[in-house]
């Protein structure tokens, strides 16, 4: 009976309805624990800030509540990033209540919070810039009467602080917006917290990409890894080589990203403190490239005659490198981020082995029968090309594994193997002095029955045998949602809130590992995303006070 009473209190307090676990449900590779029924002392903060203290003293957000620039802030009314964010978070906090007059005739509050004052404390607010891997995302938030204060060195930290403030607001029993006195000092554990979306296997409309950028900001992700092209289709509309999408996309007019589309995505992301890192993966994964660029791909042979099929990029032709130089010159001007992802994974050597011209080239170069040397030959020339564009590059781990000479600032992206294998790879990469990203445990296109977010949440990119110096080279990780079975109809619920678990692992302190506390906070955070129009799937038995497109 006592348990039932506690349970009933939880329903009233959090708006969650968690039933008892059904026994004897076996799910491979998914660890389930009994859901906790106690509300978190941290409310619904997600990801959990580095330092947070919430008191029992509460304030009402009065009818005249405003989000304003603090006096002396280096970012003023001309800072579009903050002005847009003020409007966005005001809407998130109040919804339609103020516009519709729903706050009238309520019991007056004994104390009110009248303002959130936002101060950018450094001389250069970076209002007009783009976020980077070196951006300062820290902030301090103090909620006291009569006004709250948010301080951040740069606008990027202020954006995160606004999200945190919005998460502290709750409704009392009369529906009035309230917030408790709070002190927060916060910064991300890792500088690179990414989401990969694949727009080649299934085309994703721009509005779907924008909706996920919005959700990324709610979870404090800061990198959109845009896997924009691959074997199935080439939806990027190149100004230099328009025939690539004309011939290589699913449809040359409806299933392409125009220059205006790309610019919109980049600016929408910038306004939310999110970098856009494009990936153009070669020499493999390039079948769609060959449809619009003659002689780019290697002709495959069946015996002594061409088979009519094509393999990876042809690495022995000078025209290949002329094309790549022009193409990546365009990419460097279109995408402002300091990095481009160059792929380099899963190169099938079968076609190269069949081609007599490739075989002659191999002999002339002294490569023997080691086709990984040919791959390295191509990659090295490509990296030299990209270096001339003054871009840094991220590559999948195979490029490192094959011994290609890399610049010191190269970022190695680890994605292969089981836990033991990826931990070994992380140790190997960092012992060689390279920065690295982890994605292996966070391939969210892999789904299973049960609460698979547990394993996602437990994985840690610094959990490998290595020195502190090595672990400092880990700059973060990415959750990947590959598109074989994902399009606009199911992408968002498959990604969220499972990706939220990755978000907290990459933002919060290393010792934030309590699954019960995470469950309580994430359940309410998931309902908050639903209320904001994001169809995030449930974690377990539950309901939200405001269901998706419902009450």
The pLDDT of residue 17 is above 60:
no
| Element containing residue 419 per DSSP (H, E) | helix 419-431
Same fold for the domain at 51-97+109-186 and the one at 193-279+414-424+435-510? no
**What is the model's pLDDT at position 32?**
52
| Buried/exposed 359-368: b ≥16 CB within 10 Å, e otherwise | eebbeeeebe
Catalytic residue (one of 279, 346, 468, 478): 346
What average pLDDT does this structure show over 312-320?
A: 97
pLDDT digits (tens, 9 = 90+) for 373-399: 999 999 999 999 999 999 999 999 999
pLDDT digits (tens, 9 = 90+) for 514-533: 999 999 999 999 999 999 99
Question: What mean pLDDT value characterizes the chain?
Answer: 90
- The one-character DSSP state at 48 is P
Q: What percent of the chain has a predicted confidence (pLDDT) above 90?
A: 83
| Buried/exposed 67-82: b ≥16 CB within 10 Å, e otherwise | bebbeebbbeeebebb
The pLDDT of residue 97 is above 90:
no
In whole angstroms, what separates CA 343 from the centre of its chain? 17
pTM over the 0.75 mark: yes
CATH homologous superfamily for the domain 281-407: Glycosidases (3.20.20.80)
* Dihedral sign computed on CA atoms, order 448, 453, 455, 461: positive
Would you list the domain boundaries of the chain? 51-97+109-186, 193-279+414-424+435-510, 281-407
Q: Which residues contact 423 (CB under 8 A, 6 or more apart)?
A: 463, 464, 465
**What is the model's pLDDT at position 237?**
98
The single residue listed with the structure tokens 């990546």 is: 328
pLDDT digits (tens, 9 = 90+) for 256-287: 999 999 999 999 999 999 999 999 999 999 99
- The Cα–Cα gap between 488 and 236 comes to 18
For the domain with range 193-279+414-424+435-510, which CATH number is right: 3.90.1150.10, 3.30.2420.10, 3.20.20.80, 3.40.50.720?
A: 3.20.20.80
Reduce the secondary structure of 440-456 to three states and give it as a string. HHHECCCCCCCCCHHHH
Number of other residues whose CB lies within 10 A of the CB of residue 194: 27
The reply to whether 330 belongs to the active site is no
The pLDDT of residue 1 is above 90:
no
DSSP string, 51-87: EEEEEEEEEEEEEEEEEEEPTT-SS-TT-HHHHHHHH
Architecture, CATH, for domain 51-97+109-186: 2-Layer Sandwich (3.30)
Distances from the Cα of 242 to the Cαs of 11, 131, 249, 321, in angstroms?
Answer: 56, 29, 11, 18
| CB 374, CB 367: distance < 8 Å | yes
């Amino acid at each position: 009976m006592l348990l039932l009473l506690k349970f009933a209190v939880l329903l009233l307090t959090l708006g969650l309805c968690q039933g008892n676990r059904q026994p004897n449900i076996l799910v491979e590779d998914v660890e389930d624990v009994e859901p906790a029924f106690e509300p978190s002392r941290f409310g619904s903060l997600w990801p959990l800030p580095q330092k947070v203290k919430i008191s029992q003293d509460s304030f009402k957000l009065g009818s005249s509540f405003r989000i304003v620039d603090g006096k002396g802030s280096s970012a003023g009314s001309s800072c579009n990033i903050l002005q847009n964010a003020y409007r966005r978070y005001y809407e998130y906090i109040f919804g339609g209540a103020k516009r519709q007059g729903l706050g009238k005739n309520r019991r007056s509050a004994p104390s009110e919070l009248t303002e959130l004052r936002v101060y950018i404390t450094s001389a250069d607010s970076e209002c007009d810039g783009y976020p980077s891997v070196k951006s300062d995302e820290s902030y301090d938030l103090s909620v006291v009467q009569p006004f709250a204060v948010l301080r951040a060195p740069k606008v990027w930290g202020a954006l995160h602080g606004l999200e945190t403030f919005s998460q502290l607001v709750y409704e009392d029993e009369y529906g009035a917006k309230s917030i408790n006195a709070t002190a927060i000092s916060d910064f991300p554990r890792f500088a690179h917290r990414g989401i990969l979306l694949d727009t080649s296997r299934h085309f994703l409309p721009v509005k779907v990409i924008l909706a996920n950028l919005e959700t990324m900001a709610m979870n404090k992700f800061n990198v959109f890894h845009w896997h924009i092209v691959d074997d199935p289709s080439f939806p990027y509309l190149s100004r230099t080589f328009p025939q690539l999408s004309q011939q290589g996309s699913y449809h040359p007019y409806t299933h392409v990203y125009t220059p205006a589309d790309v610019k919109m995505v980049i600016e929408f992301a910038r306004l939310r403190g999110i970098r856009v890192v494009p990936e153009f993966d070669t020499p493999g994964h390039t079948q769609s490239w060959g449809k619009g660029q003659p002689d780019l791909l290697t002709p495959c042979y069946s015996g002594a005659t061409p088979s009519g099929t094509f393999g990876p990029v042809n690495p022995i032709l000078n025209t290949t490198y002329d094309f790549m130089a022009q193409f990546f010159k365009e990419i460097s001007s279109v995408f402002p981020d300091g990095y481009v992802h160059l792929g380099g994974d899963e190169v099938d050597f079968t076609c190269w082995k069949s081609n007599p011209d490739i075989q002659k080239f191999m002999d002339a170069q002294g490569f023997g029968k080691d086709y990984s040397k040919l791959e390295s030959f191509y990659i090295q020339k490509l990296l030299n090309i990209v270096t001339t564009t003054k871009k840094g590059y991220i590559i999948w781990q195979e490029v490192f594994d094959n011994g290609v000479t890399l610049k010191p600032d190269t970022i190695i992206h680890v994605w292969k193997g089981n836990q033991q294998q990826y931990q070994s790879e992380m140790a190997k990469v960092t012992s060689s002095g390279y920065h690295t990203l982890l994605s292996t445990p966070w391939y969210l296109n892999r789904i299973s029955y049960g609460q698979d977010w547990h394993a996602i949440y437990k994985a840690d990119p610094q959990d490998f045998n290595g020195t502190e110096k090595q672990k400092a080279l880990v700059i973060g990780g990415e959750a990947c949602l590959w598109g074989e079975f994902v399009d606009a109809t199911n992408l968002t619920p498959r990604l969220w809130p499972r990706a939220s678990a990755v978000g907290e692992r990459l933002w919060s302190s290393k010792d934030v590992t309590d699954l019960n506390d995470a469950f309580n906070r994430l359940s309410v955070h998931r309902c908050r995303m639903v209320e904001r129009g994001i169809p995030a799937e449930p974690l377990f038995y539950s309901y939200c006070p405001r269901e998706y497109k419902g009450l």
